[in-house]
Amino acid sequence: MNTTIRRAGDGDARAVAELLIRARRAATAIPTAVHSDPEVHQWVATVVLAEREVWLLEDGGAPLAVLVLDGGWVDQLYVAPGRTGGGLGSRLIEHAKSRRPDGLQLWTFATNTGAQRFYLRHGFTVAERTDGSGNEEKAPDVRFVWAGGIIPQE
């Protein structure tokens, strides 16, 4: 496997949206998305790529995982179905830390215990738990914080 991480641009809108949709659909621990596929495509093109920092992890040009940073937040982190558990998410979260050495925050659904183990292992701690009334899915979620600090070179 010859994987690379690169910044995504406008020409990646379709690939990013398809990866987010496929990965979200396959993730049984995450509540069903409230937006339709066309809405996700539109949002990726007009909001995500236009206003946020998007990174693609690829193998031979095939997108395997996507990271979206929005200020100090990990807005999205998704690994392609069938490729989870192989260290790709770890590479992207370490990349996120290298981009934001002063710290990061993120939300994860309370039901997504696999992702919570992942973030705890990467030095994040639980900052807040909610009943979900503040998110679109109305599903309880957990805010994780990484306080920043020295990280190993990539």
Residue nearest to ligand COA (CB): 89
Q: Closest CB to ligand COA among 86 and 140?
A: 86
DSSP β-bridge partners for residue 70? 73
40 binds ligand COA (CB under 6 A): no
Q: Please state the closest distance from residue 28 (CB atom) to ligand COA, in A.
A: 8
Show contacts with ligand COA in window 95-134 (CB under 6 A).
Answer: 108, 112, 114-115, 117-118
Tokens 């997108």 identify what position?
A: 63
Give the tokens for residue 150.
Answer: 């020295």
84 binds ligand COA (CB under 6 A): yes
79 binds ligand COA (CB under 6 A): yes
* Cα distances (Å, whole numbers) of residue 12 to 9, 34, 53, 131, 141: 6, 23, 13, 35, 29
**Using an 8 Å Cβ cutoff, are 36 and 25 in contact?**
no
Give dist(CA 145, CA 148) in Å, integer. Answer: 9
Stretch that binds ligand COA, among 13-21, 27-35, 39-47, 53-61 (CB under 6 A): 27-35
Q: Closest CB to ligand COA among 87 and 101?
A: 87
* Cα distances (Å, whole numbers) of residue 5 to 40, 92, 96, 154: 23, 8, 11, 11
Residues at the contact surface with ligand COA, assessed by CB under 6 A: 23, 27, 29-30, 77-79, 84-90, 108, 112, 114-115, 117-118
